[in-house]
Structure 1
Amino acid sequence: MNNNRILNMLSYTDKSNSAQNHPSDLPNEVFAEELPYLPMSDPNNTRDWKFSITFSDEFNSDKLDTDKWFDHNPTWIGRYPSYFRPQNVRVEDGNLILRSEMSDIVDGVQTYNAATIKSKLWTGYGYYEIKSRTSQISMTSSFWFHGNQFEIDVFEQIGRSKTHDKATIFPNNLHEDGPDNKKLASYPFQYDTKVDLTLDYHVYGVEYGPQFIKIYFDGKLIRVMETREDSFNVNLPILFDTETFHWEGLPLAEDFYTYVDPITGKERYTGDFHVDYIRVWKTHTPQIVEAMEEETRNCRTAHAIHGSPADIDDPIWNEAEEIKVANIVMGGIERFFANMTVKTIWDENFLYVKSNVNDTDQFVNFSRLYDGDNVDLYFDFGNEKNKEGYDSNDFSIKLLPTGQIEKHPNAPEIEYETIQTPENYQSFVQISWRDLTPIVGTIIGFDAQLNEGNNKEGKRVCIAFWNSHEDNLYLNMYNTGNLKLVNTLLDIN
């Protein structure tokens, strides 16, 4: 097999005329007369897809469709010490929900209730797309296919591993099995999505075909595997499940709870794996390998209006654009009980920044200022967005709820004030332009970071940014956004 990620063209053994050309051809498979949906990976239908009613499910009824799915795995009880329970499978509000939770202590070992569904029919070559949201515990949220000899793990995501903090990772694997299900070969792969996969729904796709297995994230091709003629040429059942992975660490009782999701405003249980839909398409049009997209930098633009605020309460702040700091890169939304907004104003002498943090549990670590509640502001006056560290016009400023400030050695002259209450802290910073001559249209690099601590743990537990999806702005300014200077917000196109 070829493990390359970036492939524009591939040479391969043509299996199109083999006896097992289309293992997906089931005699009773039902297809829609008109396409209700198209694959996110092929919105122009270049491959002449047919939509399979047999294998697709929108999960819009009030219970699991038991004509299509088992609410258990007839051949497996689960990965010890977690065990599948039909009671932990439900369909609700247009979602399949697979729940993981604490169970009993058996022979001194903590066990867990887990959940799975498995398709009653086995399927083959086609494109499979799901929209799902990963749970927020150290158990898997998984979408996979497994038959007698081959296994396609589209993903087995751990939302909150006990051994690492990588909720952005999309792990994918392929396995070839020998007698007694012993693994003969595995082909693992990890893709960093740069977003916490527990925060929202994302679309995952796999094209299983005679030449290639292709993996997609939100419609973007991220992996291509060339298959041998004697491998991955059989029908497989579809599975969704949750499992414990002991090497990722086992969840604790305190990890399972219900909170109000700030994205939806609804209650969410940390142990729930949500699947919005599975959509399946089949085609006899030969496979192609499209060019992979180049990695692009996420770069938002905010706007600073012209003016000269006298202090933190100056009425001109009401006219400024408000941006929200909400890209969570550490800790998870279920542990984030603070929120932050930022406004910016400029004149010919200074850049003014006002941050507002709502937080009822403020913890300041005076021995390690970074390791508690605080705000970091990042500035790249030249907007070079260098990857090789800070240059002379790059700097950062750290603001504590209690009024202390810490600034990078490159920082220019700064004046500041902070107002703190038990529920909130606001900071006002006036920064000299130094050698920069600002005019309307000037763009600088900028980002804001909220560090969330709590008194119970006595440390920082969460990090969020306005623009960056990685916690690395203390090293370089590559992932900063843009701050554009304008007269008023009416000037924004």
Structure 2
Amino acid sequence: MKKLSALVIAGVIGISTTSLFAAEPHPIKTIKAEYGSPVIEKTAVDPLWDNVLPVSFLHAKKGAITEETEFPSVKTMWDENYVYVLAEIDDSEVYKNPDPKKLHESDYLELYFNPLKDRENDKYDDTEFWLKIHADGTFEHHVNAPEGIVAKGFLVEGGYVAQVKVPHELYTASANETIGFDFQISDASAATGVRDTILGWNDTVNSAWKNPSVVGELKFDPPSVPTTIPAAAPIPTTAP
């Protein structure tokens, strides 16, 4: 049986609701993006990611998490120019549907951006967009995606890596600010030709692909303050 990594991203810092007056408001989780500028390469992962904690607490939007589910790593970073996402996914059978009309029935990382956190509209307007990064580097994006995105995907032993950097658009990135954000992992198989499992982070109703109001939030963590070591006191000298 094929195993899929159930992604985890650590650092959940809060849950809120979209409206006090909504009958059943969708939960909104928040994760931190560490400050840093990793290089997004075609066949390698920048060592700068080693000091970043992964995200946690995924749920099955389709299929189920079982005892055989493996947990890989998904991490986020930011700087004044980009949001960065790295997904290292354990998958014993990486599958890409050969039918161009069914490319969505494949293995890939999908990201959702709601930069202005607009939760009044349950449809994509001109400020929201999604991205898909496949294991072989195939990159798909919503028509609203900003120019300048760099996306890479490549196979590794036991799975694949997907990474991307997305320019800030419609907002100014600064410490402690947040944007609407979510992601999911799709796992398909050659035997069925469809996605057997879809794992998500914030969206619990499997509608982020058409409804950006159900995404969570990504908070830009302040840069770390470098530790300074006091200068040693001068050693007094005595005259000969």
2:31 aligns with one of 269, 294, 302: 302
Shift of residue 437, structure 1, vs aligned partner: 1.2
CA–CA separation in structure 1 for the residues paired with 2:157 and 2:192 = 18
Note the 1:153-302 alignment, pairs <5 A: 294-302=23-31
Asked whether the 8 Å contact 2:34–2:223 carries over to 1, the reply is yes
Cα offsets for 1:340-373 (capped at 9, x unmatched): 4321111111111111111011111132111121
Correspondence for 2:106: 372
**TM-score, length of structure 2 as denominator length:** 0.76
Amino acid at match of 1:404: T
The Cα offsets for residues 35-91 of structure 1, whole Å up to 9 and x where unpaired, read as xxxxxxxxxxxxxxxxxxxxxxxxxxxxxxxxxxxxxxxxxxxxxxxxxxxxxxxxx
SS at match of 1:333: coil
Residues 357 and 377 of structure 1, relative CA distance in 2, 3 Å threshold: same
The structure 2 residue matched to 1:333, chosen from 59, 65, 68, is 65
Equivalent residue in structure 1 for 2:131, among 386, 397, 421: 397
Q: CA RMSD in A?
A: 2.5
Identity across matched positions, percent = 28
Sort the Cα spacing of 1:358 and 1:450 in 2 relative to 1 into closer, same or farther, 3 A.
same
User: 1:244-281 deviations in whole A, cap 9, x for unaligned?
Assistant: xxxxxxxxxxxxx9x9xx9xxxxxxxxxxxxxxxxxxx
Paired residues of 2:117 and 2:179 also in contact (CA < 8 A): yes
Alignment of 1:453-472 (within 5 A): 453-472=188-207
Number of residues paired by the alignment?
Answer: 201
2:158 and 2:81 map into 1 onto residues whose CA distance is 33
Q: Distance in 1 between matches of 2:113 and 2:195?
A: 23
Relative to 1, partners in 2 of residues 1:321 and 1:398: Cα closer, same or farther, differing over 3 Å?
same
Does 2:89 correspond to 1:357? Answer: yes
Aligned equivalents of 2:66, 2:221: Cα separation in 1: 37
**CA contact under 8 A between 1:383 and 1:444: conserved in structure 2?**
yes
In 1, distance between residues paired with 2:58 and 2:164? Answer: 21
Query: Any residues of structure 2 matched to 1:55-134 within 5 Å, and which?
Result: none
Q: Is structure 2 residue 180 aligned with structure 1 residue 451? A: no
Counterpart check, 1:473 vs 2:205: no
Distance 1:325 1:365, change over 3 A: farther
Contact 2:146 2:169 in 1 (8 A): yes
Deviation at 1:330, TM superposition (A): 1.0
Q: 1:469 to 1:475 in 2, by over 3 A?
A: same
Q: Larger Rg: 1 or 2?
A: 1
User: Gapped runs of 5+ residues in structure 1?
Assistant: 1-256, 263-292
Distance apart, 1:446 and its partner CA? 0.7
Deviation digits for residues 153-185 of structure 1 (CA, Å, limit 9, x no counterpart): xxxxxxxxxxxxxxxxxxxxxxxxxxxxxxxxx
Query: Is the CA contact 1:325–1:449 (under 8 Å) kept in the aligned structure 2?
Result: no
Does the CA-based 8 Å contact 2:59-2:65 persist in structure 1?
no
1:458 CA displacement = 2.2
Q: Look up the SS of the partner of 2:55 in the other structure.
A: strand
Unaligned runs of 5+ in 2: 7-21, 226-240
Cα drift, residue 392 of structure 1: 1.8
